[in-house]
């Protein structure tokens, strides 16, 4: 999109403020920005589980929910250790964590973390998307979990253990006996047991080698293939085929021991679909919020009324290109938007700032967002040409509903959207990706303004190993002067090649020190 396609104009504006929504987003906030994207954008990993997507004779939802519980099960409420901390990355080869779904789920999530959002948050997010994908309720989500760097204790309950052991395990995790029954019933509404993993449990002739816990696979009894937790109703009416209830190996009938431990009082209380959904939503939320005592989670992350994202500033053709997107919840109003900005140096722009209108792109929201009443977002895209000499210090927006009401201002909660520096800039136009016979190589390019010959440009890059634990780690990369891009527009260009054959870059903090001052820029994603 060229600047001429949009037009640049300067004009006066009125100032009004709109306060909506529960979540306050003060830009930039990489943690909240990333989690919001993962929760509410349609093009995220959550889409893998929509419609109870089958995999390995089970479902992706069942695999994600099991992974989350097994990760949380290391928690010890007395010592305040363990819980949802992604230690499962180091534990999935244990006998108690057996199952191809564990590694498959971790691989599903491998490219979602970054420097600010760890695998533990993504696993927890998988646990709320699992029931949603099979017709279940929306569960509140909080972020800020911290990834463990080693395995936790081997405390996952196993089918051959007796009831006393199971009660003790769940109590250590923070759940009493009644809650244990409920949580097991919720978790075993999805999935089942695979013979290759548990040959002493699935001993009968099962053609697929996989025995489901229930005859249906989901939560919602209004849709074929989905039912409210039929493992409960089938257990109560005696028709269940749950191998942990009725199969020949009495020792491994762990669900029967747990469900019947209070004379079926708790199971009978769960026979109502509404009760079951409510109870399971509450317990899954508690499960994913079970974290080490040193971790403080955020407030629940609700859809943001206004969110700035995909910002980029880089030199091109004698000016600075500034790209930004303002996301607004679609309420059916025919809104138009204008972005304003002010200079960093000099007085080139008038007091009211220079401005450019936005181009609107409609985007359908995620299923999670739709359950919260947000069917879609409108993305207002801006492409501004910034004078090199004056640069840009901050920007803000005017929003007009075009209904006769006065326009209002979106300005980062009264603080404006500040551009901290223009010395070190990621350059998406010069960054290129090259395919070879065996891999893809991306040459990431950054520009450094008025760079001395001895400038050292480095990045702290978070990468994913894709197939091996730990899935994410951080490395330091040194950028080299790139002779294929001659200095231009007062910037000198440096690059670093990333080989995607066995790793995947998730985010970068790029920095350089000029005349004793360190400048940095954070780049989410692969940079390509």
Q: Which phi and psi angles does 296 have, rounded to 5°?
A: -115, 125
Q: Which phi and psi angles does 219 have, rounded to 5°?
A: -110, -30
From 485, 486, 479, select the one nearest 527 (Cα to Cα): 479
pLDDT on residue 208 = 83
pLDDT on residue 20 = 36
| CA 25 to the chain's CA centroid | 16
Domains of the chain (ranges; CATH) run 12-27+303-418 (2.60.40.2440), 44-288 (1.10.520.10), 424-524 (2.60.40)
In sequence order, what are the residues at sequence separation of 6 or more whose Cβ sits closer than 8 angstroms to the Cβ of residue 523?
A: 426, 444, 507, 508, 509, 510
* 197 token code pair: 């993993």
What DSSP character marks residue 406? P
- Residue linked to tokens 């002010």: 342
From 52, 56, 51, 87, select the one nearest 70 (Cα to Cα): 87
Residue 50, Cβ neighbours under 10 Å: how many?
A: 16
Q: Is the dihedral of CA 295, 296, 300, 306 positive or negative?
A: negative
pLDDT on residue 247 = 83
CB 433 within 8 A of CB 442: yes
pLDDT on residue 237 = 92
Measured CA to CA, the distance from residue 493 to residue 310 in angstroms comes to 22
pLDDT on residue 19 = 33
- Residue linked to tokens 């548990």: 198
* 241 token code pair: 């085929």
Quick one: angle between helices 119-133 and 30-40, nearest 10?
A: 20
pLDDT on residue 125 = 98
3-class SS letters over 257-288: HHHCCCCCHHHHHCCCHHHHHHHHHHHHHHHH
DSSP-assigned states of every residue in 327-341? EEE--S---EEEEEE
pLDDT on residue 202 = 87
- Residue linked to tokens 């003790």: 168
In sequence order, what are the residues at sequence separation of 6 or more whose Cβ sits closer than 8 angstroms to the Cβ of residue 508?
A: 426, 444, 459, 460, 461, 462, 522, 523, 527
Measured CA to CA, the distance from residue 426 to residue 115 in angstroms comes to 17
Q: What angle do CA 167, 171, 173 make, to 5 degrees?
A: 125
The alpha carbon torsion through 116, 117, 119, 123 (nearest 10 deg) reads: 170
Classified as helix, coil or strand, 118 is coil
From 262, 220, 215, 194, select the one nearest 50 (Cα to Cα): 220
pTM of the predicted protein model:
0.91
Name the β-bridge partners of 359: 381
CB 169 within 8 A of CB 72: no
Per-residue pLDDT tens, the chain, 528 aa: give them. 222 232 333 322 222 223 333 567 899 999 999 999 999 998 889 999 999 999 998 999 999 999 999 999 999 999 999 999 999 999 999 999 999 999 999 999 999 999 999 999 999 999 999 999 999 999 999 999 999 999 999 999 999 999 999 999 999 999 999 999 999 999 999 998 998 888 888 877 777 888 888 877 665 333 333 344 578 999 999 999 898 999 888 899 999 999 999 999 999 999 999 999 999 999 999 999 999 999 999 999 999 999 999 999 999 999 999 999 999 999 999 999 999 999 998 776 666 779 999 999 999 999 999 999 999 999 999 999 999 999 999 999 999 999 999 999 999 999 999 999 999 999 999 998 765 555 567 889 999 999 998 899 999 999 998 777 788 999 999 999 999 999 999 999 999 998 777 788 999 999 999 999 999 999 998 655
In sequence order, what are the residues at sequence separation of 6 or more whose Cβ sits closer than 8 angstroms to the Cβ of residue 169?
A: 73, 155, 156, 157, 161
């Amino acid at each position: 999109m060229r600047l001429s396609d949009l037009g640049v104009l300067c004009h006066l504006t009125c100032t009004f403020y709109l306060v909506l929504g529960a979540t306050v987003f003060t830009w930039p906030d990489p943690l909240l920005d990333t989690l919001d994207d993962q929760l509410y954008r349609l093009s995220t990993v959550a889409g893998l589980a929509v419609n109870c997507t089958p995999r390995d004779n089970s479902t992706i939802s069942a695999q994600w929910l099991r992974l989350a519980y097994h990760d949380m099960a290391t928690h010890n409420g007395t010592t305040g250790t363990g819980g949802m901390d992604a230690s499962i990355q180091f534990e999935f080869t244990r006998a108690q964590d057996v199952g191809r779904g564990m590694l498959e789920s971790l691989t599903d999530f491998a490219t979602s973390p970054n420097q600010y959002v760890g695998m533990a948050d993504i696993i927890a997010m998988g646990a709320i998307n699992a029931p949603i994908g099979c017709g279940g309720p929306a569960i509140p989500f909080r972020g800020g979990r911290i990834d463990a760097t080693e395995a936790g204790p081997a405390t996952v309950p196993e089918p051959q253990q007796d009831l006393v052991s199971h009660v003790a395990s769940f109590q250590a995790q923070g759940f009493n006996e009644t809650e244990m029954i409920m949580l097991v019933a919720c978790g075993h509404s999805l999935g089942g047991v695979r013979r290759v993993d548990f040959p002493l449990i699935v001993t009968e002739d099962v053609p697929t080698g996989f025995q489901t816990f229930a005859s249906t696979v989901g939560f919602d009894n209004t849709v074929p293939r989905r039912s409210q937790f039929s493992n409960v109703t089938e257990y109560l009416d005696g028709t269940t085929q749950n191998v942990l209830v009725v199969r020949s190996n009495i020792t491994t009938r762990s669900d029967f021991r747990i469900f019947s431990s209070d004379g079926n009082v708790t199971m009978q209380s769960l026979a109502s679909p509404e009760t079951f959904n409510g109870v399971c939503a509450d317990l899954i939320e508690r499960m994913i919020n079970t974290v080490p005592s040193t971790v403080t989670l955020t407030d629940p992350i609700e859809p943001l009324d206004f969110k700035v994202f995909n910002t980029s500033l880089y030199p091109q053709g004698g000016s600075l290109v500034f790209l930004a997107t303002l996301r607004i919840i679609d309420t059916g109003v025919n809104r138009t938007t204008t972005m304003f900005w002010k200079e960093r140096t000099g007085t080139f722009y008038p007091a009211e700032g220079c401005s450019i209108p936005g181009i609107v792109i409609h985007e359908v929201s995620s299923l999670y967002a739709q359950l919260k009443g947000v069917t879609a977002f409108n993305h207002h895209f801006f492409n501004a040409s910034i004078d090199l000499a004056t640069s840009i210090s901050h920007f803000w927006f005017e929003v007009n509903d075009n209904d006769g009401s006065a326009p209002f201002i979106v300005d980062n909660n009264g603080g404006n959207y500040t551009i901290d520096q223009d010395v070190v800039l990621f350059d998406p136009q010069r960054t290129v990706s090259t395919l070879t016979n065996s891999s893809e190589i991306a040459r990431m390019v950054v520009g450094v303004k008025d760079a001395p010959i001895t400038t050292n440009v480095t990045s702290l890059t978070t990468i994913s190993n894709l197939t091996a634990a730990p899935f994410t780690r951080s490395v330091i990369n040194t950028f080299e002067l790139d002779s294929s891009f001659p200095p231009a527009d007062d910037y000198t260009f440096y690059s670093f090649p990333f080989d995607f054959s066995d790793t995947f870059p998730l985010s970068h903090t790029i920095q350089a020190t000029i005349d004793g001052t360190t400048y940095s820029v954070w780049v989410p994603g692969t940079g390509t």
